[in-house]
Structure 1
Amino acid sequence: MTCSTFNPVTHVLFDMDGLILNTEELYTIAFQNILTPYGKEYTFELKLKLMGSQAHETAKKIVSELELPLTPEEFMAKSKIQFEQLFPDTQVLPGAKRLIEHFHKNNIPIGLATSSSKESYELKVNKHHQELFSLFPYKTMGSSDPEVKRGKPYPDIFLVAASRFPDKPKPEQCLVFEDAINGVKAARAAGMQVVMVPDPRIDTEQTKEATLVLKSLEEFKPELFGLPPFED
């Protein structure tokens, strides 16, 4: 793709799970731990349907699709126990720290737009990553935020997140970073350009809605979208 393919932006929104932190693989472990006693498998196909969903939506879909003898509330309670064990030791994915720090240093307004709840966010961030996430002055946590009525693939979270910037940018002024198909659909529905860093198992046909697809955030060139380039 050439530079002319992209429109310049002024504001940036980041998803968190599977993009900044390696939590998507931890969700897989957590859910499989819950499902194993019932003889069920958390397949990658099911995971793709759920990535980006709010917590209650995820629980409802897993219980329904796998016909579990649990209520969504019971599934969420079991999930919480798993998350408390797994999430405190999350790791930052390649390129994420450098990119966030670069935008911060160059005074590019950045916001976090995660489907996680506040409680889940704190489990993932508080032990090791508070300094990095303190660089986000605006955080929208979809599963806890009353303004975010619907989860991804609906545009709600990105529209709410953009509205929290003091200068209220238009959707076309915002660039979204995502890893999930549902997240890309949500960003496009919000009228925003979106850079996707998909799980390598995702079929390329399913990444076509993204403005730009990368293997890693390490590959991103800010100048493609009119943002300050890296100095090194």
Structure 2
Amino acid sequence: MDGRRSISAVIFDLDGTLLNTEQVTKDLLKEFLVRYGKVIDTEKENKRMGMIHHEAAIAIVKDYDLPITPQQYSQSIMPMYHEKWLQAKPLPGVNRLMKHLKKHGIPFALASNSAKKNVLVKVSSQEGWGDSFSVILGSDEVKSGKPSPDLFLEAANRMGVDASCCLVIEDSLVGIKAGKAAHMQVVAVPSIQTETDEFSIADHVIHSFLDFQPQIWGLPPFDDWVMKALPIDPIYLKGLYKNGFLEEISDNSASDIPGQAWGVYFGWVDFDLHERLKVVVSIRWDSTRGSYMRNIQACVINGNDEQILDKKIDVALVGYIRGFQTKKDSSTETQILDVDKSTAEACLDSEAYSYRRCGPA
């Protein structure tokens, strides 16, 4: 295990780690600030990720010089958050890992910087989650929230597990620091894309839960790959197909592709009433233009690309082939290879990757 300690329990963060709550609420602050003629500072908000709401409220009122108190800010914006939370979905691979841990009797806890009542709202909206966690903790149940280690230490204590045998999985720097302060091993699954190495303080960094390898930590390995690929809960994307690439269309009702999606996937395009196309998709983030932009390469494998050229298409990704080892642009690694096409075509002819319709519920 490369010197890593064997793990006997797992502790998850919630927002941005298990659920795409940050994705569905990303524009709320922007909309709120417009009321006061203010423009959101994305860099500042990224650094605030993972903070306790009360602390964030104080900082936001101060940074944007709002003519209201932090309490008034919270009273105004929290109902907006509650409405959006109900739309949150598990991130790719999350349900798979939770079911795997439960199957093998590995206890796992939830430790969030949100207040307990808000944590329960989010958990209760996900089928089967309420009974899955051994422990559910909110920041109002300990002396100090993250980056203090209190939440993680309390979770370990309630599970009856030594802190040194716990694995923390986090998406924010605040949470990673808390895990390290608790002397636990930490896996980072960053929810924001950056070229900085700030997440390197974690013991291991992965792009998504689909890249998580339990055996590295002394946990039972996954056994659910089918025909050299992994069946996944459908990921929907909508875009304009141009010259081998898919330009995303901003439409939250038709696209739920998270920032953590990296790698080569495959799925279906419902082109018209009579034809369904098989497609392989390579998803990565590209920083060559000075800021991170999602780069989606798409290749039709049972038809002609010209059938969908310059057309808006809906795609349902149902399988995962491989991830990328690094964020650095590697044309060989991120290109769709012939072996990817062969794998996808074989898989899409099997029942494991069948799909009845293309488009989100």
TM-score, normalised on structure 2? 0.59
Tell whether 2:62 aligns with 1:70: no
The correspondence for 1:150, drawn from 138, 144, 148, is: 144
Unaligned stretches of 5+ residues in structure 2: 225-361
Give 1:200 shift.
4.3
1:119-158 alignment, distance < 5 Å: 119-127=117-125, 129-142=126-139, 144-145=140-141, 148-158=142-152
Higher relative contact order (CA 8 A, sep 6+): 1
Q: Higher strand share goes to which structure?
A: 2
- Bigger mean CA deviation after superposition, 107-116 or 34-43: 34-43
Picking from 205, 213, 226, the partner of 1:213 is: 205
Distance in 1 (alpha carbons) for counterparts of 2:131 and 2:143: 26
Task: Give me the identity figure in percent.
Answer: 37
Q: Which amino acid aligns with 1:89?
A: Q
What is the CA distance between 1:194 and its match in structure 2? 0.5
Return 176-185 or 202-211, whichever deviates more: 202-211
Q: Which residue of 2 aligns with 1:53?
A: 51
**Whole-Å separation in 1 of the counterparts to 2:62 and 2:177:** 23
Aligned length: 224
Residue among 166, 171, 192 paired with 1:174: 166
The one-letter amino acid paired with 1:213 is: V
Q: Pick from 163, 178, 192 the counterpart of residue 186 of structure 1.
A: 178
Decide which structure has the larger Cα Rg and report it: 2
Q: Name the aligned partner's letter for residue 195 of structure 2.
A: D
5 Å-filtered alignment, 1:11-30, equals: 11-30=9-28
Distance 1:83 1:200, change over 3 A: closer
TM-score (norm 1): 0.91
Structure 2 counterpart SS, 1:83? helix
Structure that is richer in helix per residue: 1
1:158–1:186 CA contact under 8 A, matched in 2: yes
* Separation of aligned partners in 1, 2:63 and 2:102: 42
**CA positional deviation for 1:137:** 2.2
Match of 1:79 in 2: 77
The offset of 1:12, in angstroms, is 0.6
The alignment partner of 1:162 has SS state of helix
- Once the 2 structures are TM-superposed, how far is the Cα of residue 58 of structure 1 from its aligned partner? 1.3
Runs (4+) of structure 1 exceeding 6 A deviation are none
Gaps of 5+ in 1: none
CA distance in 1, matches of 2:162, 2:197: 29
